Amino acid sequence: MIELKNVSRHFGNTIAVDGVNLTIETGEVCVLVGSSGCGKSTTLRMINRLLPYSAGEILVDGEDITTMNPEQLRLNMGYVIQGTGLFPHWTVARNIAMVPTLLNWPRERINARVDELMTLLDLDPSAHANKYPQQLSGGQAQRVGVARALAADPNILLMDEPFGALDAITRENLQLEMLRIQKQVRKTTVFVTHDIDEALKLATRIAVMDQGRIIQHDTPENILRHPASDFVENLIGKQDRGLKLMSLRPVRDLMANHTEPRQSEPGEHVLREEDSVRLALSVMLWQDLRQVAVFNAQEQETGVITRERIIQEGV
């Protein structure tokens, strides 16, 4: 658990962070969102002591971070930044192995961990381990950045606009990847972005910041349903809130289940139980269908979702 208690940071006359109180529970993804200059990165960088704070207290698992050795603290906090920060003259494998090497892990254990992480991040070790960062695409380099942050299995992951420089498709892929990995490794994560859709997609809870303060801290659903101020309402967009809520809801919630799973041929656009209601509606509108079959991970048809149900249910 990470707790910020009345934390402030000034740069000369600029108040970058202004009396922030924030509790991030173990295993949750807290997304700090807000416009440029509102204090997101400063908040993040105080948590791993890259920046000192001017006032307040930050506790990790109940312990004041200023009483901890900063290097030790950072070894337990993976840090991913935009543009990766990979060492250009080191191979991918060596970059990922950086922290385990610092920790003097035996060579075989390091090699096994590098392989394991590359596989977890969908990077073929035999194809990429010996490449240099400039030989990778932006998305691949960002995956290496995430692998490096996870290398020594830290409890905490700090991510500062990690996907900010990527094109929309690569970005979406990495977001999905992150959700998948998070299910497996469950790190307490603080993630900075200025993109509200990214925040809605990834967060357990979102902290909306404005001018150094947190003006709302809640689940994506509650932020969409009950924005605390005009500022938050404008940030989430007034017109398409319904669609955004549909994005948060899995098909599983609204489908009609068959009594028994069926073996049937999935069509071109397979709909899964965990896909969003928004995707289901989009598929139906695009293909002019009134209902679509839904499949589970074992490729069995487990039910159907209908347009009617979605419209009836609202959001």
Ligand X SMILES: Nc1ncnc2c1ncn2[C@@H]1O[C@H](COP(=O)(O)OP(=O)(O)OP(=O)(O)O)[C@@H](O)[C@H]1O
Q: How many residues of this chain bind ligand X (CB under 6 A)? A: 12
Indicate which single residue of 40, 74, 143, 201 sits in contact with ligand X (rule: CB under 6 A): 40
DSSP 195: -
Q: How far apart are CA 162 and CA 143, in angstroms?
A: 10
Question: Are the C-beta atoms of 156 and 188 separated by less than 8 Å?
Answer: yes
Whichever of 40 and 49 has its CB closer to ligand X, that residue is 40
Stretch of 8-16, 179-187, 215-223, 283-291 lying at the interface with ligand X (CB under 6 A): 8-16
Kindly state whether residue 36 participates in binding ligand X, applying the rule CB under 6 A.
Answer: yes
194, 217, 244, 278: which one contacts ligand X (CB under 6 A)? 194
Shortest CB 12 distance to ligand X, Å: 7
CB of 248 to ligand X, least distance (A): 24
Among 42, 48, 84, 188, binds ligand X (CB under 6 A): 42
When asked if residue 181 is in the footprint of ligand X (CB under 6 A), the reply is no
CB of 160 to ligand X, least distance (A): 8
Kindly state the smallest distance separating residue 42's Cβ from ligand X, in Å.
3
Residue 17 or 65 having the CB closest to ligand X: 17
The region of 29-37, 59-67, 121-129, 267-275 touching ligand X under the rule CB under 6 A is 29-37
Residue 162 carries which DSSP code?
Answer: T
CB 254 within 8 A of CB 309: yes
Burial of 41 (0-12, 13-18, 19+ CB in 10 A): buried
Nearer to ligand X, 14 or 257 (CB): 14
- For 212-230, give one letter per residue: b (16+ CB within 10 A) or e: bbbbbbbebeebbeebeee
Q: Which is nearer to ligand X, 116 or 197 (CB)?
A: 197
DSSP result, 32-82: EE-STTSSHHHHHHHHTTSS--SEEEEEETTEEGGGS-HHHHHHTEEEEET
14 binds ligand X (CB under 6 A): yes
Look at the block and give the residue holding tokens 């079959």: 293
Rounded to a whole number of angstroms, the minimum distance from the CB of residue 173 to ligand X is: 23
* From candidates 41, 84, 91, 140, binder to ligand X by CB under 6 A: 41
CA dihedral 196, 207, 224, 226 (to 10 degrees): -150
Would you count residue 38 as binding ligand X (CB under 6 A)? yes
Distance between CA atoms of 167 and 137, rounded to whole angstroms? Answer: 11
What are phi and psi for residue 79, nearest 5 degrees? -130, 120
Question: Could you tell me the smallest distance in angstroms from the CB atom of residue 190 to ligand X?
Answer: 12
- Does 16 bind ligand X (CB under 6 A)? Our answer is yes
DSSP conformation class of 276: B
Which stretches of the chain bind ligand X, using CB under 6 A? Answer: 11, 14, 16, 34, 36-42, 194
